[in-house]
Amino acid sequence: MSALLEVRNLSAVFPTRAGDVAAVRDLSYQLGAGASLAIVGESGSGKSVSALSLLGLVPAPGKVVGGEVFFEGRDLLGMSEKQWRKIRGRDIAMVFQDPMTSLNPVLTIGYQLMEALRWHRGAGNREARRQVTETLALVGIPDAERRLDDFPHQFSGGQRQRIMLAMAIACRPSLLIADEPTTALDVTIQAQIVELIAELRHRLDMAVLWITHDLALIASVVDEVAVMYAGTIVEHGPVAAIFGKPRHPYTIGLLRSMPRFDAAREHRLTAIEGMPPDLARLPRGCAFAPRCSRVVERCRAARPALDAPGQSHRVACWRADGE
């Protein structure tokens, strides 16, 4: 069975006076129908740019400069803007980080939710209102029909993110991209939104691509994890393998810097030393080498590639498993 989404050697850059900033480099992965994948990494690792690339939304002057993206067998990167508009919001939808900058403050949420159904499904006002009322109730907004006529400022932060989620799933997309959907929320609301997206994934048989820096938040709701560093994937595997037996020093560092409830009281969190590299001046070898405790000369001389595609747990490291 072919994958719902297949990304092959995707690369995107941002031209600057200092040279091209390689935001995404040779990114490759697959996502099956109804499956879930989390792309994780520090801020600036290229996670969000990689997601925007899938929808043709990389902000100028950034641009995709290489690779292929296939969705349901269709070549996304070869599409015209007119073709893109038919797919965005209907087949692939995205939930962004900050709902207050994504919702129009002068339009009711009902109007904003119904717009997608009118555009993509040709629904009339009455049918569109009925469907968005159902969808608002589905994401946990109480008294949904009455609240269609309210404005964004009349809702709490958590409710606004639920509204953004309702907007994303209004047309029942095959793929939902959740780009740091809990960043602006407090901890308890974060957990509720993550659980809600996981529940909707199963109820609507919808694939979910998570973009996050928080490994702990999504550990129980994804099938696979891809760890990004300096614009590329350095480790990719089943969630149990990534958490149970991480192989890349960067993944190990991320996990060691994460609080754990089962750790001893005297256990101290360990930060990853150093800073991420300048993406306009990447080192010749492994981009993580300047921060790595396992580094040897080979690491500085040549960039390691991910293991063969046939393996379920892949890593790009010359010294994986401490070799």
Give the contacts of 134 (CB within 8 A, at least 6 positions apart): 144
- 212 DSSP assignment: E
pLDDT at 264: 56
pLDDT at 150: 96
pLDDT at 177: 96
* Residue numbers in the chain where pLDDT is lower than 50: 1
pLDDT at 272: 87
* Domain 5-91+173-322 indexed as CATH 3.40.50.300: yes
Question: Minimal CA–CA distance to 14: which of 40, 52, 41?
Answer: 52
DSSP annotation string for 103-171: S-TTS-HHHHHHHHIIIII---HHHHHHHHHHHHHHTT-TTHHHHTTS-GGGS-HHHHHHHHHHHHHTT
Region of 124 on the Ramachandran plot (φ > 0 left; ψ -120 to 50 alpha; else beta) = beta
pLDDT at 320: 86
The span from the CA of 316 to the CA of 234, in Å, is: 5
The torsion angles phi and psi of 112, rounded to 5 degrees, stand at: -70, -35
- pTM score, two decimals? 0.92
Token pair of 18 as six digits: 């200092």
pLDDT at 258: 78
The span from the CA of 180 to the CA of 102, in Å, is: 13
pLDDT at 214: 86
